[in-house]
Amino acid sequence: MTPWIQKLHKWVGLIIGLQFVIWAASGLVMSLLDTATVNNQHHLAPAAQALPWPEAEISPAVIVARESRPVQMVETHWLAAEPVYRLSDGVSSWLADIRDGSSVPVTAADVAAIAARDYVGDGRPASPELMQENTWEVRGHTGPIWRVAFSDDDATTLYVSGQDGTILERRNDTWRLFDFVMMLHFMDYTRQQDFNNPLIVMAGAGGLWLALSGIWLFFASFRLGEFIPARWRPRRELTVYGADGGKLRSVESHSGDTVYLALGRNGLQLPSNCGGGQSCGLCVVRVRGHAPPPSSADRMHIDATRLRSGYRLACNLPVTSDGQIEVAGGAALWTERVATVVSATAVTPFLREFVLAPEVPLGPEFQPGAYLQVHVPGYRLQRNDLDHPELHRQDWSSLSLPENLVCKEPVRRSYSLSLPVEKAGGNVTLLARFSPGRQGKKQQPAGKGSTYLYSLKPGDRVCFSGPFGDFAIKPGAKEKVFIGGGAGMAPLRAMVHSLLESGAEERIHFWYGARNMREAPYVEEMEALARKHANFTWHLVLSEAAEHGAGLIRGLVHEATDEGLLQNHPDLKSCEFYLCGPPAMLAATRSLLARLGIAEEQVAYDDFKI
């Protein structure tokens, strides 16, 4: 339920969000504007003593009898200083002389006197002006109206009825501001002072929805624990198992923390690129026993089968009671390994191979498909600390990189093994793409992890933990199709090497997409492998290629694979697929495979999320 409430909250917010700001702001302004000032009380003279009524010469009954209009009421009234009768038919009113009953007009002189008597302050009145047309400052009144403007700082304006000389309204600039703000508050842009207009009722309904759904989301997203310091919360014990079922360790945590936080406090740093922000999807753990219902973040990163078996994002998983969780990577999570940089080779302008010699030999768990988490320390680098060979100078000079490259806090970034460890003489081989950040108008800083890697020189020390991940070659000798792009070369290359090295005999296809020849890594290496192993074929697909010569295919890699292999394949059901590359390529390829009726179990992929 929460995800769609969230979605609707967001959309309704989008539609009337601005109105919400206006309601709050206008409400605030109205509460700040002093009501007495708005009503011009500070320019209102104190009420005069009631004068005794003089004896009239004509009885009101006589006037009523004489009037052609029906009269509902006759009352005594003072027009400026002159006693008159005021008659009313319920809708309008008029004045009659108390001596002869003749009608009494409201003159400019009367109005000036009335206004002067009503006003205190240092403004001077302008001469009264009979309005041709009634403005919104006197809406709600009908009939002729006189206007008297005063020359004070508040721009006081009095409105006097042309029917009976009563003061109808006392306006000033504070009132005008208040009225404008009220118009915004009531969404009554025709200024009829009508807060029953359909627009505001609709917005109000949206507003109520926003408030109700907001309260729901509030309770859904706040954990009680967040309000209480960790040490006041009850302690819980979290038992951590490896993926193989072996118990790794018990850690103490506090109720209300997330599993990610609890493990982190105990030195067990789960893989993460987002630091617990529920957006990288790397911190997946499995809950043993009863897992809480998956949240929308869980559903975004974990497929339905794995959700059913209890996989959740640790950074979205609250610790509520003692519990048991399984983490992939097992003991590797605790160990920090140290390695020395052996070499850093620019394979293409923005793909660089790093060979790292670990201090302690690596175990057999470092398999192709696995990735490491490189511990990126805080750093401050100069732009020319990033070295690059002469022939890539142009590519680099077209980037707009800032003079200083800074990483304030240590972070961790994931990089896949790009060659089997045995094949690399016990070393770790990584292939890292440089993230230049968003270029152009809205610049974004270069990637923290890749900048760090690109500053490494032989002899430097690097820390990492791992291996992690469940991207791996499946046992069995099914026909294999590798489809990749960009830095996705790394794990696929390791897998291909590992297979061929171990003497695999099944057919192995590798389709790799790059923009152009310059950006394609390891082309010669792959061509050599294809010459050497009859069961391995290599297809380079170039999306930009002007130079697509012999053996080069032009287009997008998934489309090329479809045309060149999948469409005419006799038995796709018996193939296995290994995908790795940029998100768009990955998504397009996965939907292509799904369209071809290939089951999810046949497809393994690694998502770098960049």
Ligand X SMILES: Cc1cc2nc3c(=O)[nH]c(=O)nc-3n(C[C@H](O)[C@H](O)[C@H](O)COP(=O)(O)OP(=O)(O)OC[C@H]3O[C@@H](n4cnc5c(N)ncnc54)[C@H](O)[C@@H]3O)c2cc1C
Q: Does residue 437 interact with ligand X by CB under 6 A? A: yes
Question: Is there a contact between 159 and 167 (Cβ–Cβ < 8 Å)?
Answer: yes
Amino acid at 353: E
Question: Is there a contact between 204 and 187 (Cβ–Cβ < 8 Å)?
Answer: no
Partner from ligand X, another protein, ligand FES, none binding residue 283, C-beta < 5-8 Å depending on class: ligand FES
578: CB partners within 8 A, 6+ apart = 471, 473, 480, 481, 482, 483, 492, 495, 604, 605
User: Which residues, 472 to 531, sit near ligand X by CB under 6 A?
Assistant: 487, 490
Measured distance CA(416)–CA(488) in Å, rounded: 9
Q: Which is nearer to another protein, 55 or 133 (CB)?
A: 55
Measured distance CA(314)–CA(280) in Å, rounded: 11
Partner from another protein, ligand FES, ligand X, none binding residue 477, C-beta < 5-8 Å depending on class: none
Q: Does residue 40 interact with ligand X by CB under 6 A? A: no
Name 538's bridge partners: 510
Q: Does residue 568 interact with another protein by CB under 8 A? A: no
Q: Does residue 276 interact with ligand X by CB under 6 A? A: no
User: Which residues, 394 to 413, sit near ligand X by CB under 6 A?
Assistant: 413
Pick from 93, 316, 414, 465 the residue near ligand X by CB under 6 A: 414
Site size toward ligand X, by CB under 6 A: 27
Measured distance CA(162)–CA(167) in Å, rounded: 10
Partner from another protein, ligand X, ligand FES, none binding residue 526, C-beta < 5-8 Å depending on class: none
Q: Does residue 610 interact with another protein by CB under 8 A? A: yes
Q: Which residue's entry shows tokens 């030999």?
A: 361
Question: Is there a contact between 402 and 475 (Cβ–Cβ < 8 Å)?
Answer: no
Question: Is there a contact between 581 and 484 (Cβ–Cβ < 8 Å)?
Answer: yes
Partner from ligand FES, another protein, ligand X, none binding residue 211, C-beta < 5-8 Å depending on class: another protein
348: CB partners within 8 A, 6+ apart = 518, 519, 520, 521
Site string for ligand FES, 308-337 (x = CB under 6 A): -----x-x----------------------
- Picking from 536, 558, 529, 555, the residue whose alpha carbon sits closest to that of residue 544 is 555
Question: Nearest distance from residue 462's CB to another protein, in Å?
Answer: 23
Q: Does residue 211 interact with another protein by CB under 8 A? A: yes
The helix (H) or strand (E) run that includes residue 179 is helix 173-186
- Picking from 173, 111, 113, 120, the residue whose alpha carbon sits closest to that of residue 144 is 111
User: Which residues, 460 to 479, sit near ligand X by CB under 6 A?
Assistant: 469
Q: Which is nearer to another protein, 490 or 496 (CB)?
A: 490
Question: Cα Rg for the chain, rounded, in angstroms?
Answer: 40
Question: Is there a contact between 97 and 103 (Cβ–Cβ < 8 Å)?
Answer: yes
Question: Is there a contact between 455 and 444 (Cβ–Cβ < 8 Å)?
Answer: no
Site string for another protein, 82-101 (x = CB under 8 A): -------xx-----------
Pick from 53, 136, 189, 232 the residue near another protein by CB under 8 A: 53
The helix (H) or strand (E) run that includes residue 300 is helix 296-301
Pick from 446, 514, 526, 540 the residue near ligand X by CB under 6 A: 446
Partner from another protein, ligand FES, ligand X, none binding residue 315, C-beta < 5-8 Å depending on class: ligand FES
Strands 536-542 and 552-554: parallel
Within 13 Å of residue 466, how many CA atoms lie on the same side as its CB?
Answer: 29
Amino acid at 263: L
Question: Nearest distance from residue 351's CB to another protein, in Å?
Answer: 14
Pick from 105, 140, 277, 458 the residue near another protein by CB under 8 A: 277
Name the residues that contact another protein, by CB under 8 A. Answer: 10, 13-14, 17-18, 20-21, 23-25, 27-28, 30-35, 50-53, 55-56, 59-61, 64-65, 67, 70-77, 89-90, 186, 195-197, 200-201, 204-205, 207-208, 210-212, 214-215, 218, 221-222, 275, 277, 279, 435, 438, 582-584, 609-610
Name the residues that contact ligand X, by CB under 6 A. Answer: 273, 282, 371, 413-416, 431-433, 435, 437-438, 444-450, 469, 487, 490, 606, 608-610
Name the residues that contact ligand FES, by CB under 6 A. Answer: 260, 272, 274, 276-283, 313, 315
